[in-house]
Amino acid sequence: MYRIVKKESLNPTVTLMEVEAPLIAKKAEPGQFIILRVDSNGERIPLTIADFNRATGTVTIIYQIVGATTQALDHLKEGENIQDFAGPLGRPTETEDFKKVAVVGGGVGCAIAYPVAKKLYEQGCEVHSITGFRNKELVILEEEFKKVSNKLVLMTDDGSYGTKGLVTDALKTLIESGEKYDAVITIGPLIMMKFVCALTKEYQIKTLASMNPIMIDGTGMCGGCRLSVGGKTKFACVDGPDFDGHEIDFDEALTRSSIYKPFERRAHEEVCHLYEMEVK
C-alpha cells in the first residue's frame, strides 16, 4: 500500500498527488514512469513521475481524469492508500550533451515535460519551454516552468491566456527567428507530437518524443505497448518511452491508442461529465 501524502487540484481535470514510495524516489530519473493500480479490482495504468524527493521518499504524479481508473484514483483522499505502485519504469530521458533545447509540452503532457526541463536547466542547458493548453482554465505548472526555463512561451488554442495558437506555431516562430536548438523534446497528445516532429524534420533538428501507448505490465512481457520506430517493432515500456520523433510511425500509434475504446466497459456509464465537457 502506498500512502498519498498530498493531493492538489491543478485545474478542473488535472490533479497532483505526492505518494510515499521511498524505493522509487531513490531511483527515479526524469522521463521514467510508474504503474499503479488503485484497488484490487483495478486496472494497471502508467503515469509519469512528475517529480520526486529522495530525502522524503515521495514521488509526485500528475494525472488527467479521462476514464474509470483516473476517476477512481481521484476519489482517493490525502492520507488514503493506492494499492499498487511499481517503478521507476522505462528509460530516463537522454539529457546529456545538449546545450540548448526546446521543450514542447501539451496539456497534461506538460506535467511529464516539467521534470525533463528542470533537469536540463539544472545541468546548465539553455531551456526554451513552450506549453500549450486549450484554454486559460486548463493551464498548469506555469510558475514551475518559469523557474526552469530561460524562455517560456505559453499558448492557448483560444487565446484566453498567453499567446493564441498551437505549440507548433510558437516553435516555428522561435526557429525562424534564428534560435539554434541541439534538440527538441516533445511530450503531449500524439497528434501534437506528430506535428511537432513533422515541423522539426523540415529544419532537421533532432527530436525526442515521449510516447504514451496503452500498457499493462510495463516490464516488457506483453508487447501491448509496441510501436514501429524506424521500421522496427519497439516496446515503449522498456525501449522507451522516448524515441527519435522522426522515426516513429505516428499514424500507427494513433490507431493503436484506440484499441480499447469500444471495450471500456465501466467507463461508459460512469465517465464523468467533466470528460465530456472539459477535455473533449
Which residues are documented as binding site? 62-64, 222, 225, 237
- Which partner in ligand FES, another protein, ligand FAD, none is near 41 (CB below 5 to 8 A by kind)? another protein
Residue selected from 17, 19, 20, 46 as contacting ligand FAD according to rule CB under 6 A = 46
Taking each helix axis as running N to C, give the angle between helix 190-202 and helix 167-176, from 0 to 180 degrees, rounded to the nearest 10. 20
Residue selected from 215, 227, 248, 253 as contacting ligand FES according to rule CB under 6 A = 215
Residue selected from 10, 108, 171, 183 as contacting ligand FAD according to rule CB under 6 A = 108
**Cell digits of residue 48:** 509519469
Cβ neighbours for 212, distance < 8 A, ≥ 6 positions apart: 46, 190, 236, 241, 257
Residue selected from 174, 216, 267, 274 as contacting ligand FAD according to rule CB under 6 A = 267
Nearer Cβ to another protein, position 112 or 237?
237
Which of the residues 220 through 239 are near ligand FES (CB under 6 A)? 220-225, 235, 237
Give backbone dihedrals phi and psi of 93, rounded to 5 degrees, phi first. -65, 135
- Which partner in another protein, ligand FAD, ligand FES, none is near 107 (CB below 5 to 8 A by kind)? none
Distance between terminal CA atoms of the chain? Answer: 33
Which of the residues 32 through 61 are near ligand FES (CB under 6 A)? none
Tally Cβ neighbours within 10 Å of residue 188: 23
Interface ranges with another protein (CB under 8 A): 23-24, 27, 37, 41-44, 68-69, 72, 83-89, 216-217, 219-224, 226-228, 233, 238, 252, 255-256, 258-260, 262-266
